[in-house]
């Protein structure tokens, strides 16, 4: 998927939520985001990216200029670590990239969602 995303010029929204991509999958996706210039919305919620995956994603946001919506809810990391990463990495990337309109790093409990 990540390799195809690198050269895709028509896909604007991608929802990978709940696919257990893990740190390696998120790393590959982050690398693809560095060259993809069509994607405007990405949902990587419920993928257990760990701090490494979130850091790679933040680095990709420094390069990608088209992504305007990002959801990373239930990232599988302790809430304090998510908030620290958001402040340090995602927040810094968003500050440098004014076109990120929305980001969601909530850690809501969806265990009762059917």
**What are the tens digits of pLDDT across the range 52-70?**
888 898 889 888 989 888 8
CB 61 within 8 A of CB 33: yes
What domains, with CATH codes, occur in the chain? 13-104 (3.80.10.10)
* CA-based R_g, the chain, Å: 13
CB 24 within 8 A of CB 51: no
Beta sheet of 13-15, edge-to-edge order: 13-15, 41-43, 69-71, 102-104
**What are the tens digits of pLDDT across the range 11-50?**
999 999 999 999 999 999 999 999 999 999 999 998 888 8
Give the best-scoring range by mean pLDDT among 20-29, 86-95, 102-111. 20-29
pTM score over 0.75: no
Helical ranges in the chain per DSSP H: 2-7, 22-35, 50-63, 79-85, 91-96
């Amino acid at each position: 998927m990540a390799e195809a995303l690198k050269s895709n010029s028509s896909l604007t929204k991608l929802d990978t939520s709940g696919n257990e991509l893990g740190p390696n999958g998120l790393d590959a996706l982050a690398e693809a985001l560095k060259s993809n210039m069509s994607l405007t919305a990405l949902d990587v919620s419920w993928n257990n990216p760990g701090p490494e995956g979130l850091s790679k994603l933040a680095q990709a946001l420094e390069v990608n200029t088209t992504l305007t919506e990002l959801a990373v809810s239930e990232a599988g990391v302790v809430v304090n670590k998510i908030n620290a990463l958001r402040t340090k990495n995602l927040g810094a990337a968003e500050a440098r990239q004014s076109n990120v309109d929305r980001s969601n790093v909530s850690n809501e409990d969806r265990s009762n969602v059917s």
